[in-house]
Amino acid sequence: MQHIIFRETDLKNTNKDISTTALSAEPVSNFIRNIIDEDIRTKKWGGRVETRFPPEPNGYLHIGHAKSICLNFGLAIEYEGVCHLRFDDTNPKKEGKEYVDSILDSVRWLGFDWGGHLHYSSDYFEKLYKYSEYLISQGKAYVDSLTGEEIRNLRGTLTKAGTNSPHRERSVDENLDLFRRMKQGEFSDGTHVLRAKIDMASPNMNLRDPVIYRILRAHHHRTGDAWCIYPMYDYTHCISDALENITHSVCTLEFEDHRPLYDWILAQLKDRVPCHPQQIEFARLNLTHTVMSKRILMELVEGGFVEGWDDPRMPTLAGLRRRGYTPFSIRLFAERIGVSKADSWIGMDVLENCLREDLNIRAQRRIAVLKPLKLVIVNLPDNYEEECLVPNHPQKPENGSRVLALTKTLYIERDDFMEVPTKGYFRLAPGVEVRLRYAYIIKCVKVIKNASNEIEEIHCSYDPETKSGTIGSKARKVKGNIHWLSSKYALKSEVRLFDNLFSDSRPDVSSREYKRLLGVNSKEIISAYIEPSLNEAQPEEFFQFERSGYFVADQLDMKTDRPVFNRTVTLRDSRGKYKA
């Protein structure tokens, strides 16, 4: 069975059996796979599996959409079927080409290929219109001339039936005439709507004569000003599915109550559309410390709370990409969390761990000193230089090694020194010995402070018998092992560190106050030192900076003369007490 947990390098060969190396996540059965297996057994669709991912181009895709993309495209890959990418573009006021382009880009980046199956609901505007005329001719739809508010007031409540509109019994001829004139632009926006004629007393509010067309003068990014009436989502969606011969129309749980309408519309058109797809609902993804709503993400962008849709703190695919997430890690995540019918929250650490697992295998190791403290080795001559061999990957000798120069003056992390060490602190402190990774054991002999009593540099002596990899080094054990860079060769780099977008694990975005819940200091820019070769890193190239985490060269800002790295994720989850 083909499977979506393939690596980027395998993408060109998606028809081949893919070895999943150490990260195998075997497809586990779930209720959707069970339905499809049964349909294949009974030949319900002639063995065909055709799914679709139907985004509305009114924002950038987020990680919740990735769950749906991986599911729909993944099912098509597994069952050797087809997955369509369809833009549900029926609301021209909010939609646009920028969003279309970003969605295409994100789906491709995630590793999926829609082949020739790129569609737009707007391609079906003419057909959708004709089906409406047909519904009218069958007495199944009517033009209502009440205002939006009047329609809402007559809709009833969950416990009280709705009331028929005074226009419900218009004749077929009158309805056809009015509907055609709506299309021709004779009426102003909001004066008439077309409604399905179902049942104003239905316990399901969606069946109380839902509006299926509205008058709206808005320029559409594809059809321009050709239309001044636009079909509603529920009406458009099921017909688009049917026209594309979709077999399994997979959507999120909030559409469960819309399924009777989906089925009602297709039942009315059964002799006119190619098939009647099966709608199947699954629980949407909720991820801690962030939000999964395009509307709210849009508010964060437009309000300047973040620096755009691709801000590395955003849960958008563009943001995750800029942060350094790999497509593989997101597909692995989608597979791990599975699909079910029960709403739940997934901890951000689950997503991060998928990334750590991927990068741990693939990322080359490098050294960076994020918050530098100067260290002088007092018993080395001023011009001393010694080559230290540093492996590119501790578990993969085949990745080779490189040389770092040890010199008299180094940078170490400020955190790796404590003047008065706390209990259990095994790194450098006055009189304490630690190993300089890949080099010698050193001992702190002096602490130099400035006039404000801040530590400015520390002086150490080194033991020449203890070079890493030598016999002498084995004779002596020290507890601390710290990284360093030569002050002579280290390069300056802008490094961006990120924290949760929301400090609350489950931000309540129903309140207008939710912006208060945004993490403070969720972005920190520091000036760090990096290994000399890192200025050659290509945008989006990722590394593990030893002991500090996984980093990526910024997609847009990385320059040879001004290297910029984003911290993608720390080596271990440090969220601890904030966890969901």
Which positions lie near ligand ATP, rule CB under 6 A?
A: 54-56, 64-65, 67-68, 251-252, 284-285, 292-295
Question: C-alpha angle 232/233/237, rounded to 5°?
Answer: 125
Q: Which is nearer to ligand ATP, 218 or 292 (CB)?
A: 292
Run of H or E residues at 134: helix 125-137
**Min CB(83)–ligand ATP separation in Å:** 12
Asked about 284 being catalytic, the answer comes back as yes
Rounded to the nearest 10 degrees, how much is the dihedral formed by the CA atoms of 45, 49, 54, 60?
A: 170
Pair of tokens at residue 501: 């977008």
**Min CB(356)–ligand ATP separation in Å:** 23
DSSP 505-547: SS--TTSTTGGGGBPTT-EEEEEEEE-GGGGGPPTT-EEEETT
Q: Which is nearer to ligand ATP, 250 or 497 (CB)?
A: 250
**Min CB(303)–ligand ATP separation in Å:** 17
Catalytic annotation, pick one of 33, 44, 56, 546: 56
DSSP 423-473: TT--SB-BT-EEEETTS-EEEEEEEEE-TTS-EEEEEEEEEGGG-TTSHHH
Contact 95, 221 (CB under 8 A): yes
Q: Which is nearer to ligand ATP, 36 or 334 (CB)?
A: 334
Q: Which is nearer to ligand ATP, 54 or 549 (CB)?
A: 54
Contact 226, 184 (CB under 8 A): no
Residues 6+ apart with CB under 8 A from 179: 132, 133, 136, 143, 194, 213
**Min CB(334)–ligand ATP separation in Å:** 9
**Min CB(68)–ligand ATP separation in Å:** 4
Catalytic annotation, pick one of 48, 195, 259, 294: 294
Coil vs helix vs strand at 345? strand
Contact 341, 283 (CB under 8 A): yes
**Spatial separation of the C-alpha atoms in residues 545 and 551, rounded to whole Å:** 7
Coil vs helix vs strand at 278? strand
Strand spans (E) along 227-343: 229-231, 248-252, 278-282, 285-287
Catalytic annotation, pick one of 33, 284, 427, 523: 284
Asked about 449 being catalytic, the answer comes back as no
Pair of tokens at residue 317: 């695919």
Q: Which is nearer to ligand ATP, 350 or 455 (CB)?
A: 350
**Spatial separation of the C-alpha atoms in residues 235 and 240, rounded to whole Å:** 9
The neighbouring-strand residues paired with 153 are none
Contact 243, 237 (CB under 8 A): no
Pair of tokens at residue 429: 């402190």
Q: Which is nearer to ligand ATP, 54 or 210 (CB)?
A: 54
**Min CB(141)–ligand ATP separation in Å:** 24
Q: Which is nearer to ligand ATP, 290 or 544 (CB)?
A: 290
| Closest residue to ligand ATP using C-beta atoms | 64
Question: C-alpha angle 80/84/86, rounded to 5°?
Answer: 170
Task: Give, in order, the Cα–Cα distances in Å from 233 to each of 144, 212, 213, 250.
Answer: 18, 8, 9, 15
**Min CB(113)–ligand ATP separation in Å:** 18
**Min CB(254)–ligand ATP separation in Å:** 8
Q: Which is nearer to ligand ATP, 64 or 111 (CB)?
A: 64
Burial tier of 34 (Cβ tally within 10 Å: 0-12, 13-18, 19+)? exposed
Asked about 294 being catalytic, the answer comes back as yes
| Amino acid residing at 174 | E
Q: Which is nearer to ligand ATP, 332 or 458 (CB)?
A: 332
**Min CB(251)–ligand ATP separation in Å:** 5
**Min CB(285)–ligand ATP separation in Å:** 4
Q: Which is nearer to ligand ATP, 266 or 509 (CB)?
A: 509
Contact 550, 542 (CB under 8 A): yes
The gap from C-alpha 441 to its chain's centroid, in whole angstroms, comes to: 44
Active-site residue list: 56, 284, 294
